[in-house]
Amino acid sequence: MNDITGYTLSDKSLVDKVLRGETGAFATIIKNTEALTAQIVFKMISNAEDRKDLAQDIYLKVFNKLSGFRFESKLSTWIAQIGYNTCLSYLEKKKLVLPGRFPQSETDVLERLSNKSNALNNETENIISKKELSFILSTEIENLPPVYKTLIALYHNQDMSYDEISEIVQLPVGTVKSYLFRARKMLKENLLAKYKKEEL
């Protein structure tokens, strides 16, 4: 049962129990949110060992910050935000993504894509319809920049709204929509470049 803030009574009950020292309640929180957290970590971080460390770090932060959770959003959204920020900080430290923007090479690609004809979309869709679509798409999505992969996973795999994603990644809804559009364009460009010359 939800109220207007979006959180559930079970969220409130679980948080209250954790703050009273009931560790089993925190295990339930992990169980309820681990699929969403895993989507973010796996899409943003390529190194398997780092994924494990970051997942532990995320839930340690959640536990330590839980007393400050004000139920202004769903608990899962708040945890996803912590997960996203933790992964983004890791990428920035490793210089794999620049704060506040995408690397210049990606910006150049996106600018080029924005000038393409809409015919590219139809051509690409016709090409990939003749392939094993699911396998090809999942493979190519993994080659996208980390933030793009994450947005696609949240929107298409987790069925999250633009508003929820905006809260998680702390970007305006319009920017989320723009990045998702760019991600799809980049994906189609990559598919076209790889498969247009193959015998289909």
Q: Mean pLDDT of all residues in the chain?
A: 78
Looking at residue 131, what is its pLDDT?
Answer: 46
Residue 10 Cα distances to 99, 158, 163, angstroms: 36, 20, 22
Identify the structural domains of the chain with CATH numbers, from first to last: 9-93 (1.10.1740.10), 104-195 (1.10.10.10)
Q: Could you tell me the two tokens for 45?
A: 């971080």
- Segment 66-95 shows an average pLDDT of 90
Looking at residue 60, what is its pLDDT?
Answer: 94
Looking at residue 47, what is its pLDDT?
Answer: 84
Looking at residue 64, what is its pLDDT?
Answer: 94
pLDDT tier, 117 (very low <50, low <70, confident <90, very high otherwise): very low
Q: Between 187 and 64, whose confidence is greater?
A: 64
pLDDT tier, 59 (very low <50, low <70, confident <90, very high otherwise): very high
Q: How many CB atoms lie within 10 A of CB 115?
A: 6
Looking at residue 1, what is its pLDDT?
Answer: 41
DSSP assignment letter at 95: T
Residue 19 has pLDDT above 50, yes or no: yes
d(CA 175, CA 96): 21
